Every structure is written in structure tokens, then in C-alpha cells.
């Protein structure tokens, strides 16, 4: 989900997709599959524009770009986000408590997500969602290593977006979001909005742009759907026994929790305290620090659940640490 909301949309979009016969045929196919009015779908997609900057932003970083957790952390954990998080938590204290009670997802994780994604609604994106989705559906850069897979993904997201817009009577040309088409305070992609968004304020509609209650309930519901384990920590400290260390084996599963406490220890990972009583699988999470030595934690199934929001251990740690910083500031 998480994308670069801070990127600004330039004033000169490319040509309208109405000029492309293949796109208009795709519009007809969407209308038929979704039982939508053909002319309405053609009009919506036809009035979308190719955005060359979106095609640039979706490219992966150049090969060899060094990852740096400390730099990454500094982008998301600062006084601006912490102070905004405190205000958000204070304004929505009862709703956060209800979401935590109903789903088991802690308030600080929900607050961390919304803060990392959009600074609590301050940066929800400036791109027309339909332009972003159409660009990535029909003109996904061929040089991308997963171009075919990603193009198919965005075709589906465009279809979901049009169906959602029609069902909720929202103008598909009006909504703005990230360069990847993510929307609202929690930056849900259209398919996530359809699957996981909930009416948490009880007004019979779902509004992820203006209803903090719907946002809170929807983020909590998302993690519940991805098997959040109530009461389980997200990670534990970890050290290494150099005499037994098999770093290749520990790193092989990447962020997927795979190892029991015993098998973790057998490969040279050293846990202490509560971690030794952990019942579920663990993963060794590596956070590179540029030229400095990497940082490591033992990630649980709840750490993995956060990465279902954005497939990045750096993202998950930023969410966790921002939530903790806001919670600490609340108690000062």
C-alpha cells in the first residue's frame, strides 16, 4: 500500500486514453465483466491521462542502491509525525480502544500505520487515482523486472476502482491519491478498500478520506484478516553466538517466520527473557545501515502481518517505532 504521497503531480499530463483503441476495448471488457454501463466505463477511462512521471516513480531503485535503516527511520519518525499522532490519538481515543478490543490490534500499531502512510491525513496524494491506475494498467514500464505481473495487478485495481466508484456513486475522476492509486488516510488500494474497509462510525457508508473512525476500523480489520495474534509482540531483541552462527540459513526465509525458538538457537541466534517462551515461528529481520553494521531483530507473526501492508521490514519497523514514540509522548 504505502507509496510516495509527497510526490507532486505536474500540470502537464500526457494524452487521454480515449485515443487508444486497445484501452477502449479493455473498457468494454471491464463493463461486461462487472455488469457496468459500457458508455460510463468508456467515458471514465477515456478521460484518464497517461502520466509519464507515474511510470518513472513505479520503477525500482537502481541496482546497488544501499539501504539504510537509520535514514529510512528518520523520514518517518520525527516531531511532526509524533505530535500529529498524539493529536490523532487524543481525538480518537475511544475509537482506537474499541478497535483494539474488537480485533486485538493494538492502538499504537493502528496509529503507526496512519502516521507513516499520510501523517494522519495531511498527505493523501495529489494524483487523480484513475490517471495513476490507467497509466500503470496500460503503460506499465516494460523495463521493470516484473512488468507483466504488475501490469495485470493494476488492471485489476482499475477494474476494482471503477466498480467501487459506480457502486458508491462517487465520481471516478474526482478522487486523488498516491502515484500507485492508493487512497485515503490509510492509503488503501481499491481491492483492499473492497475487501477490508468497514463502516466503523455507523453512518452506513465507508469514507477513508474523512472519517477517522472508518480509517481506524478498516486498518484494524485489515490486520485481523491477515491473522494478527492478539497479545503477541512484533519482535524481540536478538544477538548471535559466533561459534554456531549459520547466517545463510537464518536469512534464507527472508521475513517469513519459519524458525522455532529451538531451531533459531541451533543456528546461532541468541534470545533472552520472554523471547525464550515464544510459541510461534520467528524470522531473522535484517535492517541494513549503509556502511555501518546491520541491525537485527527476531520478527514474529505479527511483524510479518505488518509487512502484508507493505512488503518491507523497514516499513514495518517504522510503523512499530512511530506507534511506540506516539504512545510514549501520550504518557509524558
Task: Name 49's bridge partners.
Answer: 16
pTM above 0.85, yes or no: yes
Hey, CA dihedral for 87, 92, 300, 189, is it positive or negative? Answer: negative
257 vs 155: CA distance, rounded Å: 31
pLDDT of 226 strictly over 70: yes
pLDDT of 295 strictly over 60: yes
Residues 254, 258, 263, 266, Cα dihedral to 10°: 0
pLDDT of 278 strictly over 90: yes
The catalytic residue positions are 117
On the 0-12 / 13-18 / 19+ scale of CB atoms within 10 A, 203 is exposed
Task: Answer with the residue of higher pLDDT: 91 or 7.
Answer: 91
pLDDT of 327 strictly over 90: yes
pLDDT of 78 strictly over 50: yes
285 vs 297: CA distance, rounded Å: 5
Adjacency order of strands within the sheet including 235-237: 235-237, 292-299, 283-289
Which residues have C-beta within 8 Å of that of residue 268, sequence separation ≥ 6? 240, 241, 242, 243, 244, 245, 246, 247, 250
Mean pLDDT rounded to a whole number for the chain: 95
pLDDT of 309 strictly over 50: yes
DSSP-derived pairing of the beta strands 176-177 and 235-237: unpaired
**Confidence (pLDDT) at 1:** 61
pLDDT in tens, 248-260: 999 999 999 999 9
Amino acid at each position: 500500500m504505502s507509496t510516495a504521497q509527497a510526490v507532486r503531480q505536474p500540470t502537464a499530463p500526457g494524452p487521454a486514453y480515449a485515443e487508444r483503441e486497445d484501452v477502449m476495448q479493455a473498457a468494454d471488457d471491464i463493463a461486461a465483466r462487472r455488469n457496468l454501463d459500457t458508455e460510463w466505463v468508456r467515458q471514465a477511462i477515456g478521460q484518464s491521462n497517461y502520466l509519464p512521471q507515474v511510470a518513472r516513480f513505479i520503477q525500482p531503485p537502481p541496482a546497488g542502491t544501499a539501504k539504510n535503516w537509520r535514514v529510512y527511520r528518520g523520514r518517518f519518525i520525527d516531531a511532526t509525525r509524533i505530535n500529529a499522532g498524539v493529536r490523532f490519538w487524543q481525538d480518537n481515543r475511544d475509537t482506537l480502544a474499541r478497535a483494539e478490543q474488537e480485533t486485538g490490534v493494538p492502538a499504537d500499531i493502528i496509529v503507526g500505520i496512519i502516521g507513516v502512510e499520510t501523517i494522519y491525513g495531511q498527505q493523501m496524494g495529489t494524483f487523480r487515482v484513475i490517471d495513476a491506475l490507467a497509466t500503470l494498467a496500460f503503460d506499465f514500464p516494460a523495463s521493470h523486472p516484473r512488468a507483466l505481473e504488475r501490469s495485470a495487478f493494476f488492471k485489476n485495481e482499475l477494474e476494482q476502482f471503477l466498480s467501487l466508484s459506480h457502486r458508491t456513486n462517487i465520481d471516478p475522476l474526482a478522487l486523488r491519491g498516491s502515484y500507485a492509486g492508493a487512497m485515503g488516510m490509510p492509503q488503501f488500494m481499491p481491492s483492499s478498500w473492497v475487501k477490508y474497509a468497514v463502516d466503523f462510525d455507523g453512518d452506513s457508508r465507508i469514507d477513508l478520506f474523512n472519517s477517522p473512525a472508518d480509517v481506524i476500523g478498516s486498518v484494524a480489520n485489515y490486520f485481523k484478516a491477515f491473522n494478527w495474534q492478539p497479545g503477541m509482540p512484533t519482535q524481540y531483541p536478538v544477538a548471535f553466538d559466533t561459534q554456531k552462527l549459520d547466517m545463510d540459513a537464518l536469512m534464507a526465509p527472508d521475513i517469513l517466520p519459519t524458525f522455532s525458538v529451538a531451531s533459531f538457537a541451533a543456528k546461532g541466534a541468541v534470545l533472552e527473557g520472554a523471547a525464550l517462551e515464544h510459541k510461534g515461528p520467528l524470522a531473522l529481520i535484517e535492517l541494513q545501515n549503509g556502511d555501518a553494521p546491520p541491525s537485527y531483530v527476531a520478527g514474529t507473526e505479527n511483524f510479518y502481518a505488518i509487512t502484508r501492508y507493505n512488503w518491507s521490514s523497514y516499513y514495518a519497523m517504522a510503523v512499530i517505532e512511530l506507534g511506540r514514540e506516539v504512545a510514549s509522548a501520550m504518557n509524558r
